[in-house]
Amino acid sequence: MAISWLLLILLALAAIGFFSGRSRALASAGGNARQLHSLPSYYGYNVALTALVPALGVLIVWLLVQPLVVNGTVSGMIPDQAIPDGSDRGLVMSEVRRVADGLDGAVASGALSDAVARDAEADIDTLTAALKDAGQVLTQEITRPVLQAAQSYRSMNAVGEVAMQAVVLLVALLGAAFAYIRTHKEFRARNVVEQGILALLLLAASIAILTTVGIVLSMLFETMNFFQMHSWKDFFFGSTWAPNFRGGSELSILPLLWGTLYISLIALLVAVPIGLFAAIYLSEYASGATRAIAKPLLEILAGIPTIVYGLFALLTVGPALVALFGQGGALGVGWMASSNAVLTAGLVMGIMLIPFVSSLSDDIINAVPQAMRDGSLGLGATHSETVRQVVLPAALPGIVGAILLAASRAIGETMIVVMAAGAIAKFSGNPFEAMTTITTRIVSQLTGDTDFASPETLVAFALGLTLFVITLGLNILALYVVRKYREQYE
C-alpha cells in the first residue's frame, strides 16, 4: 500500500468519523441541537481530528525514523573486508541503496522476479544483466556482500512499510473510537476542538524555530570536526585559500570573505539608489494608475530565478562589459580580460536586489503618517522639500532596515556569482578581475565524490556557519531598526 493510498484511507476515516460523531451527538440530544453544548459540527470535528492528527503524527515520525534504523542496521551487516581500499562504509551504503533501488525497479518492470531478487545465492552476473536490461544505473560491479546487504535493505523496508500501515491505521481507529465513545450532549466539543487547533497552530509556528535549530546544530557539529583537523587560526586569520585533497591545504576564509563583501558592496551600490528612487517616485509622485502598473512590473524581478540572472550575466552583461572595457573595446583601456569579474556579478546582483529595496522602502514611506506631510505643506514647503526634509528622515530607520535585509540577501547569493564572478580566491581591489565568494566555495567543496572525513570537505560547514552568523547578525540588526521605527511612528 503506497503512502498516497494510506493518506486517502485516513481522510476517508476522518470523514466517516465526522458524520458519525455529529450523528451520535444529535442522537444523544434526541435530535434537538439546542440541547447540545456545542454545535453539532464540533462533535464531528472532534472525532475526525482525533482520528486523523495522531495517525499523521505517527506516520511522519515513522517515515523519519525508519530510514535511520534500516541504514544503521544494514550498515552493521557489511563486513570490514567488504569495504574497498580508499572507500568507507558510507560510500558502500550508498551503493547498497542504489542496488536495492535497482532491484525494486527491475521487479516493478517485470525484468526480474521478486523471488530471484530475494535469493541470497543468486548469480551476480545474471542480476547485473537483468538490472541493466531494466534500465537501472549501476556505478560499479555488484559484490556478494553488497547484494546481500541490498536484499536485507529491501526486506527491512518492506516489513517496516507493512508495520507502519498497520500501526497508523490502528492509531486512527483507536482515536476515532475513543472520541466517538465520549461524544454526548454534555461533552464540550467546541472547547476541545479549539484547543486542538491551537496546539496545531503552535506546532506549525514551532517548525521554523526547530528547523533553524537543526540547521545550526548540524553545521556546528561538522564545524567542530573540521577544527579538530585544521587550525582555526589558519581558517580565520590566514591569507590563502588553496584546498588540496592530497594534503597540505591552506583553508583561510579571508580571501573568500573579501570577494563576498566586495561583490555585495557593488550590488548594493546599484540596488540602493535605483530601488530607493523608484520607491520615492511610486509613493510620492506617481499617479494611482501608474503605480498600479509600475509596482507589479518592478516586483516581477523578485520572481525571476537566480539561475536566469546568472545566464543574463554570462551571456549579456559580461560580454558587454568586455566590449566596453576590454582590450580593443570601445574605450580601448584593456582593463577587463574576461567576462567573469566582480563587476559583472555585482551589477546583475544589484538588478536582482532592486525589488527588495524598492518594495520594502515603498511600504515604509507609505507608512509615514499623512499628517506629517500635511503639516509640512501647510507651513509652506514644496512637495519635493517635504519629501527630502520630512518624509525621508521619518522613514530612514525603515529604509536602513530594508537595505540591511538586501545586504544579507546579497551575501548569501550563489548562482549569479558561480556563473559571473569566477573562481579565484584572492585579495584585490580591481572590480574587473575574477574573484570568488564563500557560497561558491561551499558548492565547490561539496560537489562530486566527497570524503566527509577530510578537512577539505568539512571546511564547507565552517564556511556555511560563518556565513550564517554574518547574515543572522544583519537580519537581527535590520529587525531591530525596523521595530524601533514602528514603535516611533505607528
Closest CA to 306 of 420, 387, 437: 420
Contacts of 45 (CB under 8 A, 6+ apart): 18, 21, 189, 193
Confidence (pLDDT) at 177:
92
How far is Cα 78 from Cα 90, in angstroms, rounded to an integer? 11
Are 150 and 117 in contact, with CB atoms under 8 Å apart?
Answer: no
Could you tell me if 434 and 423 are in contact, meaning their C-beta atoms sit under 8 angstroms apart?
yes
**Burial of 343 from C-beta contacts in 10 A (0-12 / 13-18 / 19+):** buried
Contact present, 348 and 301 (Cβ < 8 Å): no
User: In 10 A of CB 431, how many CB atoms?
Assistant: 21
Cβ atoms of 447 and 278 within 8 Å: the answer is no
Fill in the amino acid letter for 281.
Y
Residue 12: per-residue pLDDT: 92
Q: Is the pLDDT of residue 487 over 90?
A: no
Q: Tell me which H or E stretch contains 241.
A: strand 241-242
By the 8 A CB rule, do 130 and 43 touch?
Answer: no
Cell of 489: 511612528
* Residue environment code for 85-119, b if the CB has 16+ CB neighbours within 10 A, otherwise e: eeeeeebbbebbbbbbebbbbbbeeebbeeeebee
Mean pLDDT across 123-132: 69
The C-alpha atoms of residue 106 and residue 314 are separated, in whole angstroms, by 42
**CA torsion angle for 179, 184, 188, 192 (degrees, to 10)?**
10
CA atoms within 13 A on the CB side of 89: 12
Q: Residue 242 pairs with which residues in a beta bridge? A: 250
**What pLDDT does residue 346 have?**
92
Convert the pLDDT of each residue in 194-246 to its tens digit.
999 999 899 888 888 888 888 888 888 888 888 888 888 888 888 888 887 66
SS3 326: strand
CA distance 422 to 444: 12
CA–CA separation, 467 and 253 (whole Å): 10
Residue 446 burial (10 A CB sphere; 0-12, 13-18, 19+): middle
Integer Cα distance of 101 and 109 in angstroms = 12
For the cut 80, the answer to whether the pLDDT of residue 91 exceeds it is: no
Q: Could you tell me which residues are beta bridge partners of residue 336?
A: 326
> In sequence order, what DSSP letters do the residues of 423-442 get, joined into one string?
S-------TTS----HHHHH
Distances (CA, A) of 357 to 119, 157, 158, 176, 482: 63, 50, 52, 51, 14
At residue 329, what are phi and psi to the nearest 5 degrees?
Answer: -80, -175
450/366 Cα distance (integer angstroms): 51
Comparing 128-142, 345-359, 462-476, the range with the smallest average pLDDT is 128-142
Span 295-340, pLDDT tens digits: 888 888 888 888 899 899 888 988 888 888 877 767 767 788 788 8
Q: How would you label 469-480 residue by residue, b for 16+ Cβ within 10 Å and e otherwise?
A: ebbeebbebbee
Which of 141, 135, 96 is CA-nearest to residue 112? 135
> Band of the pLDDT at 275, cuts 50, 70, 90?
very high
- Residue whose C-alpha is closest to residue 346's, from 271, 443, 428, 426: 271
Q: Give me the pLDDT at residue 265, please.
A: 93
Instruction: Report the range of poorest mean pLDDT among 73-87, 338-352, 413-427, 450-464.
Output: 73-87
Q: What angle do CA 25, 28, 31 make, to 5 degrees?
A: 80
Q: Is the pLDDT of residue 95 over 60?
A: yes
Query: Across the strands, what pairs with 250?
Result: 242
Give pLDDT tens digits for 27-84: 888 888 888 888 888 989 999 999 999 999 999 999 889 888 888 888 887 777 767 7
Question: Does residue 159 register a pLDDT over 60?
Answer: yes
**Cα separation, 119 vs 115, whole angstroms:** 6
Asked whether the predicted pLDDT for residue 139 surpasses 60, the reply is: no
- Count CB neighbours of 135 within 10 A: 11
